[in-house]
Amino acid sequence: MDRAVALLEQAEHLLREAAALAVQPLTDAELCDLTRRGEVVGRLADAVRVATAGEVAERSRHELGTAGLAYRNGCTRPAHLIERIALVSQREAHARIRLAGALRGRVTLTGDPLPASHPAVADAVRDGRVGVESAIRIIDMLDSVAARGQVHPDELDAAELELVTLAVTTSADALKHSIAVWQAHLDQDGARPREEVLRAQRRFTIGREVDGMTPFSGLADPLSAGLLRAAMAESTAPGRSPRFLGPGDLDPSDPDSDPRTRGQRQFDTLLGLVTAGLRSPDGGSLRPTALVSIVVSAQDLAAGSGSAWIDDVDTPISAFTAKALTCDADTSTIVLGDNGEVLHLGRKERLFTAAQRRALAIRYGGCIWPGCTAPPSWCHAHHLVEWRHNGPTDIDNGVLLCTAHHYMLHNSDYRLRMIRGKPHMLAPPHIDAARQWRALGRQRATAKAIPAARSG
């Protein structure tokens, strides 16, 4: 009998005995030790699972056709064969095959052997030091950075070794933060393109009513998630009464007086934010007590490159966006020096007041972007001379931009400035070959009809 099969049979016999033993009599120390040892055994079993999945995939290569292992067993793909044999989901089978492909040794076209593409991860998985979940996260990050072709292989190798070392003593969830930090370090120009991709995936859908309840779902990009999390954290803090209930509805000093679940409280917070925005008499935005903290180094902020980090969100945003958010977004940008010292704390006072926003709503009637019909309640107040460049927070330096066009302004070659008390836009040359500053705004009360010149 094959040695590997014989060893697994012995291991299975011993593990059956261990699984049959009661854990209740164990002391706390013994229970914790058994939990740790059980995880090591499970990781070693995962190493076998990944190795066999990789070999099944190798023997089922597409070019083998009908001679492939999966095809000869009535399956069109190797993942289907693994699903049938191991009784796991196709998703799990695909994950094992994908990991095996990164950890297996390779051969050149001439048949010469090559090491695994991620040897440090491969060794750690085989030794049971790193679990499958952590290994996949490390590999996915390294491969995504390598695909851009802008990082030296030595830097990727150093990152792999460091992350494997961390993975040995760090949970898979905690490792996500370190992976994000390394990705930002390796791919200095990657945060902004990734940010564009993620923002393009944002969505919210609301379904049809079923038995009196209406389902909805969505995806939020990192910045939007930061804003939502800040609002939720503020409203669900222990001992805090719900923000959108009347002061007499609940006793905030009694933590048991609120019968709602956390999910219900978060739903009520979201609905309250929407309701407050709809009911705002001046078309302004809700003024939350919770701010989103964005942390960025002084060097990256000045250069507009690199990454910035949002509270409670793993994926960084670009330092370029952090610079742009010194406008009307409810964020506080915290600037750090080379040694982590706080050089500057963002100030809430940069935001336009409700009275100023009302004046801007009256003055411009909504988003000033050409062709945009967004009402004032959908808009940010944008500083024409940026606040970080000592631009004053007053109506002569402010305009209204909807979220989409505010974002577009900061990520394009469009320029805005005030000329004789009116905002003007300079479009990029591929949009306006004449390169003229054109007046903006759609306040109808002061608009003048200019008749077209008649010929003849």
393 within some domain: yes
pLDDT, averaged across the chain: 77
More confident call, 196 vs 57: 57
Q: Which of 237, 264, 279 is the last residue of a domain?
A: 279
pLDDT tens per residue across span 290-316:
556 788 887 787 777 778 887 667 778
105 within some domain: no
* 446 pLDDT more than 50: no
CB 409 within 8 Å of CB 426: no
CB 307 within 8 Å of CB 319: yes
Is the pTM higher than 0.95? The answer reads no
Residue 274: its pLDDT value, please? Answer: 62
371 within some domain: yes
41 within some domain: no
Quickly state the pLDDT bin for 251 (edges 50, 70, 90): very low
* Cα separation, 76 vs 78, whole angstroms: 7
Task: Give the amino acid at 344.
Answer: H
Q: How far is CA 200 from CA 219, 222, 292, 394, 404, in A?
A: 10, 12, 21, 32, 11
Give mean pLDDT, residues 144-165. Answer: 88
Quickly state the pLDDT bin for 409 (edges 50, 70, 90): confident
* 249 pLDDT more than 50: no
303 within some domain: no
Residue 120: its pLDDT value, please? Answer: 92
Give mean pLDDT, residues 66-78. Answer: 92
The values of phi and psi at residue 379, to 5°, are -105, 155
More confident call, 314 vs 135: 135
Q: How many domains does the chain fold into?
A: 2
| Element (DSSP H or E) covering residue 53 | helix 28-58
Range of the domain at 407: 354-446
pLDDT tens per residue across span 113-128:
677 889 999 999 999 9
187 within some domain: no
**pLDDT above 90 as % of the chain:** 19
48 within some domain: no
